[in-house]
Chain A
Amino acid sequence: MSAQTDHSQSQHPAFYAVIVMLVIMAVGPIVLMFTSSFKLDVDIISGTSGLLFLPTIQNYETALCDVLPYELEHLDFCALKFGGAFVNSLIIALVSTVLTLIIGCMAAYALVRFRFMGRDTVSGSTLMVRMVPPAVLLVPVFGLWNNEFCISKASWLGSWIREEFGGRGDVCLAGTHSGIILIYVAMNLPFVIWILQSFIVQVPRQLEEAARMDGAGPFQVFFKVVLPLIKPGLAAAAIFTFRIAWNEYLLASALSDRDTKTVPILIVNNMSEFNIEWGVIMATGMLLAIPPIIFTLFASRQIITGMTAGAVKG
C-alpha cells in the first residue's frame, strides 16, 4: 500500500495538469449546460460569461408548467408540455427495462443451463443486432406498427377498446406506449441476454442441484437461487436498457402520437423552432440528462463492466 502511495506521489506535476485538462474537457460542456439552465435568456444573450449571474429556476418552471400546482407569473400560456412527456418517458423506459430484464434473464438461463446454442452463436447474433441502426428499422417499424400490428375494430377486443378509449379506425400499436416499448425490448434483448449469460455461467451448478434436491421446481430454482447471485449483471443490463429507452429519439418520434411524446422528441421539436429560448431548452436538456448522470455516478463500475465485456472478454 505504501509503495503504491509513493508511486503516485512521484508523478510529474505536468501529469496532473494533463488530468485536470482532461476532466475539464470531459465535464465542461455538461457543467455549461447546468449553469446555463439557471440563467435568464437576457444573461445568456448579453454574454456575461462565467458565474456572475443571478441563478433562477424560472427556466425549469417554464419547462414543467403543465405539472406545477401553481400559476406562473412570467407565462401566460403553457406551450411546453414537458411534464407529460417526462411521465411518458418514465413509463416507457421503466416498463421496457423491467420487461427486457425478465425476458432476457429467462432466455439467458435457458441458453446456459440447457445448452441450446453455444456462446458463439449468441454473441454472434448480438453483434448482428448491434449492427442494425435504428434508422434502418424506422421504415419497416413505421409501416408495421401502423398497418399490420393492428386489431380490427370489427373484432370484439377492437370494438371494446374503441368504446372504452374512443378514437377511430383499427386499433394499432403505433401511437401507444406499448408500441414503443415493444421495439425497445426487442432492440435491447440480444445485448441483455448476452451479458447475463456471462454472469449465469459463473453460478455454481451444485447450488442449483442442492435446491432441486430440496424439492424446488425449475422456476423456484431460477428465482430464489440464480437471480440473487447475478445481481451485478442485472444492474449492468438494467442501466444499458434504461439508457437506450430513455434517450432514444428516432423510433419514438415515428411511433408516438400527440399524447405519447417522449422528452427527446419534445426537445428536438423545440430546437427546430426559429427563435430558440436557450435557457428553457437547457433546462429540459438537464432534466433529460439527470437520470443517466445519477446512474453513472452511482454505478459506474457496472457500466464499465458492461462496456468492456463486449470487446475485452470476446
Chain B
Amino acid sequence: MSTANFNRLTPYLFLAPAVVIMALALLYPLGYMVYGSFRDWDPSQALGESTFVGLANYVTLWNDPNFRESVGVTLKFAVSVVSVEMVIGVGLALLLDRKLRGMSILRTLFILPMMIAPVVVGLIWRYMYHPSVGIFNNTLKSLGLESVDWLGQHALLSIIIADIWQWTPFIFILSLAALQSLPRSALEAARIDGATGWQQIIHIKLPLMMPVLIVTGLLRLIDAFKVLEVILVMTEGGPGLSTEILALRISRTATEFRELGVAAAMSGYLLLMLMTLTITMLAYNKIQEYRAARAIRAIEEDM
C-alpha cells in the first residue's frame, strides 16, 4: 500500500473500532428492542421463534393500571427530586460563591455521594432508615419522639430524600461553575450602580445562569428516570407498587415475570418519554445559547 493511500485511510482506521462497537452493542440492541416489543416473546425462545403480535404489548400496557401507577410513581419521583435539588443546589451555589479557603476540599467532599456505587448508596440509606437499628429512628427515640415507618408508609418520600442527598451536589457544582464563569463586567456594573445582593441575584445572576440551569435541570431529569439500583436495594419497589419506578418494573417484568415482549414495549414507552425530554433540551439549548449571546452583547454595549 502506498503512503498516500494509507494516509487517506487513516481517519477511517481510527474511527472504525468505535463505530463497530457502538453499532453492534448500542444501535443494534435498540433496534432489537423495538422489534421485540411487537412480539410475544419469552426468555426461552430466540426472538425469531416468537410470534408477531403487532401493537398488542403497547395496548395491554396502556390499559394496565399497574403500569400506569408505575408511570405515575416515576413522574412523581423525577419531578419532586429535580425541583428540590434545583432549589437547594442553586441556593447553595449562590451562598458559597465567594472566595473561601478550602473550597476545593468542600467540593471534593460534596462529590463523594455521586461517585460511590448506587448499590452502596441504597445500602447506606436502607441501614439508616431501618426501623430498629437505623440512626433516624434511634435519634427520634432518644428525643422521646415516635418512630417513623420510613420504608413502609413513607417509602416514596424516603427514596426521594436519599436521591436528594446523592444528587444535589451535582446541581451545586454545575451552578457554581456557571456562576464563576459569569461576565465579571456585568456584575461590577450592577455593584457600582448600587444593586443589593438580592437584586444582583434576581436581576443579573439568575437570568445569566438560566441557560446552564435549564440544561442542568434537564440532564438531572433524564438521569432521574434512570435511577434503579438505589431504589432496588432500599425497597425493591415496595411496599406494594409505591416505589416501583419504570426502570425497576422493566427489569422485574423481564426477569421475574419472564415477559420479554412486554418489557421491551415498556422500554419503548420509557425511551419515548426520554426522547421527548432530550429533544426539548437540545432545542432549548440552541435557543438559549443564541439569546444569551445577544444578552451579553447588549449588557456590554450598555456599559
Report chain B residues within 8 Å CB of A138: 250-251, 254, 263, 267
Interface code A257-289, partner B: CB below 8 Å = 1, 0 otherwise? 000000010011001100000100110010011
Given the known interface contacts A144-B28, A193-B18, the answer about A136 and B112 at a Cβ–Cβ threshold of 8 Å is: no
Let me know if A52 is at the binding interface, CB within 8 A. no
Report chain B residues within 8 Å CB of A183: 25
Stretch at the interface among A54-62, A75-83, A161-169, A246-254: A246-254
Judge whether A130 and B36 touch: CB under 8 Å: no
Interface code A3-26, partner B: CB below 8 Å = 1, 0 otherwise? 011011001000000110011011
Judge whether B133 and A278 touch: CB under 8 Å: yes
- Which of A26, A136, A254 sits near B267, CB closer than 8 Å? A136
Q: How many residues of B contact A (CB 8 A)?
A: 100
Judge whether A45 and B212 touch: CB under 8 Å: no
Judge whether B14 and A110 touch: CB under 8 Å: yes
Judge whether B29 and A144 touch: CB under 8 Å: yes
Complex Cα gap A301–B103 (Å):
12
Let me know if B150 is at the binding interface, CB within 8 A. no
Report chain A residues within 8 Å CB of B255: 254
Stretch at the interface among B186-194, B223-231, B294-302: B223-231
Judge whether A264 and B173 touch: CB under 8 Å: no
Report chain B residues within 8 Å CB of A131: 222, 271, 274-275, 277-278
Stretch at the interface among B61-69, B122-130, B152-160: B122-130
Let me know if B197 is at the binding interface, CB within 8 A. no
Judge whether B100 and A8 touch: CB under 8 Å: yes
Complex Cα gap A268–B119 (Å):
7
Which A-chain residue is minimally distant from B113 (CB atoms)? A26
Stretch at the interface among B79-87, B91-99, B200-208: B91-99
Report chain A residues within 8 Å CB of B26: 129, 132, 137, 186-187
- Which of B21, B115, B133, B270 sits near A136, CB closer than 8 Å? B270
Stretch at the interface among A65-73, A151-159, A203-211, A305-313: A305-313
B178, B228, B289: which has the most chain A beta carbons within 10 Å? B228
Judge whether A133 and B115 touch: CB under 8 Å: no
How distant is B303 from chain A, measured CB to nearest CB, in Å?
A: 24
Report chain B residues within 8 Å CB of A314: 215, 285, 289
Let me know if A87 is at the binding interface, CB within 8 A. no
Which A-chain residue is minimally distant from B45 (CB atoms)? A147
Which A-chain residue is minimally distant from B269 (CB atoms)? A136
Complex Cα gap A76–B274 (Å):
50
Let me know if B287 is at the binding interface, CB within 8 A. no
Report chain B residues within 8 Å CB of A137: 26, 29-30, 33
Judge whether B22 and A190 touch: CB under 8 Å: yes
Judge whether B271 and A249 touch: CB under 8 Å: no
Complex Cα gap A173–B127 (Å):
36
Report chain B residues within 8 Å CB of A33: 120, 123-124, 127
Interface code B165-199, partner A: CB below 8 Å = 1, 0 otherwise? 10001100110011001000000000000000000
Let me know if B55 is at the binding interface, CB within 8 A. no
Let me know if B5 is at the binding interface, CB within 8 A. no
Let me know if B108 is at the binding interface, CB within 8 A. yes
- Which of B32, B112, B177, B260 sits near A293, CB closer than 8 Å? B112
Let me know if B242 is at the binding interface, CB within 8 A. no
- Which of B29, B111, B178, B216 sits near A300, CB closer than 8 Å? B111
Report chain B residues within 8 Å CB of A103: 17-18, 21
Given the known interface contacts A8-B100, A29-B165, A106-B17, the answer about A249 and B118 at a Cβ–Cβ threshold of 8 Å is: yes
Let me know if A201 is at the binding interface, CB within 8 A. no
Complex Cα gap A135–B173 (Å):
27
Report chain B residues within 8 Å CB of A304: 107, 111, 173, 177
Which A-chain residue is minimally distant from B169 (CB atoms)? A26
Which B-chain residue is minimally distant from A183 (CB atoms)? B25
Judge whether A285 and B120 touch: CB under 8 Å: yes
Judge whether A110 and B127 touch: CB under 8 Å: no
Given the known interface contacts A4-B99, A141-B29, the answer about A295 and B115 at a Cβ–Cβ threshold of 8 Å is: yes
Report chain B residues within 8 Å CB of A185: 21, 25
Let me know if A98 is at the binding interface, CB within 8 A. no
Report chain A residues within 8 Å CB of B122: 271
Judge whether B104 and A140 touch: CB under 8 Å: no
Report chain A residues within 8 Å CB of B30: 132, 136-137, 140
Which A-chain residue is minimally distant from B43 (CB atoms)? A142
How distant is B263 from chain A, measured CB to nearest CB, in Å?
A: 5
Report chain B residues within 8 Å CB of A133: 225-226, 228, 247, 270, 274
Can you list the 6 inter-chain pairs with the closest CB atoms, starting with the nearest?
A186-B25, A247-B117, A110-B14, A135-B247, A107-B18, A140-B29
Q: List 11 A-B contacts (CB under 8 A).
A: A26-B113, A32-B128, A47-B132, A106-B18, A109-B14, A127-B278, A133-B274, A148-B46, A182-B25, A185-B25, A193-B18
Q: A131-B277, A268-B233, A296-B112 are in contact. List 18 more A-B contacts (CB 8 A).
A: A8-B100, A29-B128, A107-B14, A107-B18, A133-B274, A135-B250, A137-B29, A140-B32, A140-B36, A144-B32, A247-B119, A282-B123, A289-B116, A292-B117, A293-B116, A301-B104, A311-B212, A312-B212
- Which B positions have Cβ atoms within 8 angstroms of A? 6-7, 10-12, 14-15, 17-19, 21-22, 24-26, 28-30, 32-33, 36, 41, 43, 46-47, 92, 95-96, 98-101, 104, 106-113, 115-120, 122-128, 130, 132-133, 135, 138, 165, 169-170, 173-174, 177-178, 181, 212, 215-216, 219, 222, 225-226, 228-229, 232-233, 236, 246-248, 250-251, 254-255, 260, 263-264, 267, 270-271, 274-275, 277-278, 281-282, 285, 289
